[in-house]
Structure 1
Amino acid sequence: MALTTYWTTRPKSRAEARKLEAEVDRTRAETTKILAEVEVRRPSVAPQDTTPKGWEVSGSVPEDYEVGLDFEVFSVGRASAFIRSRHENPTGYASLVQSIKADDYHCTRLQMTARVKARDVVGWAGIWMRVDDAHERTIAFDNMGKPERRIAGTVGWRGHSVTLDIPENGAYISFGAVLQRAGQIWLDEVRLNVVDDSVPVTDIVSNLPRHPVNLDFEDGTY
């Protein structure tokens, strides 16, 4: 009886294990792609004349984009910031960036919130936050890069958030908004708030698997 049970349950267990490994592989592949697409580091170009005070411009090909202030389109107050492509076929992405020291946020859970409006976004857009250590190694990161969270097309003002744990070895916190490919986004009401543990983190770095899987390629494909 025991032997029969073993042989009848074993295929199910193997199938479940393969499914779990496939999910891990998929998460790792998506995260690697996101980090490769939008690994926003220190600003790569000098601020444009229209760059909002206190912010900088970064990106893979920032010259294909324009940033500035809009005094006609905003969520609250009297202005918003925008990123828009300069032509129909921009390459790479551009980001509006601000960086601060992490000292005051050590061992806290930090949430960035903002309202974003989009028009004709062909690729995708999102808000993002990243924590680097003193050696500029990324230790926490989220940019809404997963397909189910991306901003695309034309949408009205909507609230978005990213949430990261700020470890004790965190040295810098960078945050902002990113636009990839053609279109325009507006950014308003950006806030950084310490939240309690009831708010889940959205960190994609911490979701990377600890160990490699399927190294002999015997578990097939997705």
Structure 2
Amino acid sequence: MGTALVGLLGPIVGGIAVALTTYWSTRPKARAEARKFEAEADRTRAETTKILAEIDMRRPSVAPQDTTPKGWGVSGSVPEDYEVGLDFEVFSAGRASAFIRSRHEHPAGYASLLQMIRADDYRGTRLQMTAMVKARDVVGWAGIWMRVDDARDHTVAFDNMQDPERRIAGSVRWRRYSIALDIPETGAYINFGAVMERTGQIWLDDVRLNVVDDSVSATDIVSNLPRHPVNLDFEGGTY
């Protein structure tokens, strides 16, 4: 019986020994595989976060409220410091205009009223945006703006009238403003709207997008940037 028991236990003990040997010999490999899986998971999470962030960049940063004009969105650095809505008493044409105004005396950043469309029908053209704008007590600056992004959300054309010679400030009666951008073949999305920084209020009305010819100058900040640096030794004086 002892011999039989030994014969029975022999394979079991041997199997356990093989299992333990395999466990201890493969444990470092298993740990390495686990670390590899964790690294892959981290990369996947990071890529997912990046994708979601890129998607969010193309969406308004604030969900539309009851006061947001239909078809438009609200964005900006601190849009909660501003109010956006419709005005049925102050307008240039029709029966209403949109407005952006500061909520208190010390708003931070800026707010923008915007709309985004596909660039398919405008590639290879010069697109002009015009709009009637009225301003009251704008302390910072305001303007209309248009931006063209490619499929990877890289900006390929942009203008927002921030230049001191073109920006809207103080109080201004209704006036038509315009900007024009060349829409490249790589353009995927066209964003446009109005922006205001700091205190005051602007009204926006009668927005138009029209394809124009070369007689209308492009106002693109990106393409109009200098090709080469200047006055690097500061010996060129001042403006």
TM-score band by shorter chain is: 0.7 to 0.9
Residue number in structure 1 paired with 2:137? 120
Residue number in structure 2 paired with 1:67? 84
2:199 aligned partner, one-letter code:
A
**1:45 positional shift:** 1.5
**1:43 positional shift:** 1.7
**1:209 positional shift:** 2.1
Q: Could you tell me how far apart the structure 2 residues matched to 1:221 and 1:43 are?
A: 43
Q: Does 1:99 align with 2:124?
A: no
Q: Does 1:56 align with 2:56?
A: no
Normalising by structure 2, we get a TM-score of 0.73
Residue number in structure 2 paired with 1:84? 101
2:212 aligned partner, one-letter code:
V
Q: Could you tell me how far apart the structure 1 residues matched to 2:144 and 2:169 are?
A: 12
Residue number in structure 2 paired with 1:131? 148
User: Structure 1, residues 125-166: CA drift from partner, whole Å, max 9, x if none?
Assistant: 000000011111111001111001111111110000000000
**1:85 positional shift:** 0.3
Match of 1:44 among 61, 79, 83: 61
User: Structure 1, residues 17-45: CA drift from partner, whole Å, max 9, x if none?
Assistant: xxxxxxxxxxxxxxxxxxxxxxx964212
**1:211 positional shift:** 3.0
Q: Could you tell me how far apart the structure 2 residues matched to 1:202 and 1:220 are?
A: 26
Q: Could you tell me how far apart the structure 2 residues matched to 1:175 and 1:131 are?
A: 9
**1:213 positional shift:** 4.1
Q: Could you tell me how far apart the structure 1 residues matched to 2:217 and 2:149 are?
A: 20
Judging by fraction of residues, say which structure has more helix: 2
Residue number in structure 1 paired with 2:167? 150
**1:218 positional shift:** 6.5
**1:207 positional shift:** 1.2
Q: Could you tell me how far apart the structure 2 residues matched to 1:218 and 1:173 are?
A: 38
Q: Could you tell me how far apart the structure 2 residues matched to 1:108 and 1:187 are?
A: 25
Match of 2:218 among 186, 201, 205: 201
Matches within 5 A, 1:16-27: none
Residue number in structure 1 paired with 2:176? 159
Structure 1 runs of 4+ aligned residues shifted over 6 Å read none
> Partner of 2:91: helix, strand, or coil?
coil
Residue number in structure 2 paired with 1:179? 196
Q: Could you tell me how far apart the structure 2 residues matched to 1:90 and 1:218 are?
A: 36
Q: Could you tell me how far apart the structure 1 residues matched to 2:102 and 2:65 are?
A: 14
User: Structure 1, residues 87-134: CA drift from partner, whole Å, max 9, x if none?
Assistant: 011010000010000000010000000000001101010000000111
Normalising by structure 1, we get a TM-score of 0.79
- The answer to whether the Cα contact below 8 Å between 1:107 and 1:165 also exists between their aligned partners in 2 is yes
> Partner of 2:165: helix, strand, or coil?
coil
The gaps in structure 2 that reach 5 residues or longer are 1-56
Question: Aligned Cα RMSD in Å?
Answer: 1.5
2:71 aligned partner, one-letter code:
G
Q: Could you tell me how far apart the structure 1 residues matched to 2:225 and 2:60 are?
A: 26
- The answer to whether the Cα contact below 8 Å between 1:41 and 1:58 also exists between their aligned partners in 2 is no
